[in-house]
Amino acid sequence: MAALEQNGLVLVTGAGGFIGGHLVSELRRRGHRRIRGVDVKPLGEWYQRFDDVETRVLDLREIGACREAARGARYVFNLAADMGGMGFIELHKAECMLTVLINTHMLMAAQEAGVERFFYSSSACVYAAEKQTDAAVTPLREADAYPAMPEDGYGWEKLFSERMCRHFTEDFGLVTRVARYHNVYGPYGTYDGGREKAPAAVCRKVIQAQISGSGEIEIWGDGEQTRSFTYIDDCLHGTIALMESGVSEPLNIGSDQLVTINQLVDIVERIAEVKLRRKYKLDAPKGVRGRNSDNTLITQQLGWAPSIRLEDGMRKTYEWIHQEMTAKERRQVFV
């Protein structure tokens, strides 16, 4: 293990987003004193900002912006991507593919700047769809990414970018670490607008049903598709542990607690103390039939695996989204 030097400049790209904002917060909590956060979004749209963190608004699809971002950095966590939940990535394949410019240019800039370690946030979408056709899915091992047939658009971009990291290590000696995230969720993230993922979407829909009094929730698909969902605290611990490790191959960072979407709704209903009628939208984007994380390798390599129960993480997520939505409702009443 090679702990990150607390006085070394850490660059977090995508710092205005969900995982990036939490990562900056965690690095601060761990005593890092020199952090640079970069995102394409205007500062007013960042989910979390800190007065003692250098913040820059840059479009990292451009090589010049990447060079500016990487200047002087010792470590890079590259989380920047144009992405969202299934409703977004199924309908915006070209936009998701263009994210390849970010990782390509960030690798180039990092290599030129003499960066010591480079982290890339990949995704479980790199796994072949043919391995995810059954709701009772066999958990996905890291080796299951090949032979390659990832999710069209977003998955191909992620898998290609993984290979870029590998070859920058082989050809230029840039130390790279790659995590395959599995459905990360938690507070301080997107919960509406089309880019939100299932946990946040379900929380929002349950709260909306309560506010409107409709007593009904719309579920995409038949609700029997399965997923595992990873709470943000587990994601952060795994990310930093992998960055500090000697593991050069991609690792799953994901919970192995498999649930159906109907069971996810059950959990949120219990948190909200409500029972809703379910309306199934069978023609909505719903992704693969089943997806779960095999945590054998991460347990072997890091001596740890995500363990936060979905019920506990969803309660914290629901409470934050409820606070946000009810505050917005009150503001609208007084406008």
Residue 167 in tokens: 């070859």
State both tokens at 157.
């971009």
Nearest C-alpha neighbor of 92 from the set 82, 105, 106, 101: 82
Q: Is 306 helix (H, G, I), strand (E, B) or coil?
A: coil
Encoded tokens for 119: 């982290």
Q: From the candidates 120, 154, 191, 231, give the one annotated as an active-site residue.
A: 154
Residues 78/102, Cβ–Cβ less than 8 Å:
yes
Residues in Cβ contact with 322 at an 8 Å cutoff, skipping those fewer than 6 apart? 203, 207
Determine whether 154 is an active site residue: yes
Residue 56: closest CA among 73, 39, 71, 44? 39
CA distance 256 to 62: 37
Distance of CA 71 to CAs 46, 108, 109, 110, 253, Å? 22, 12, 8, 8, 29
Catalytic residues: 154
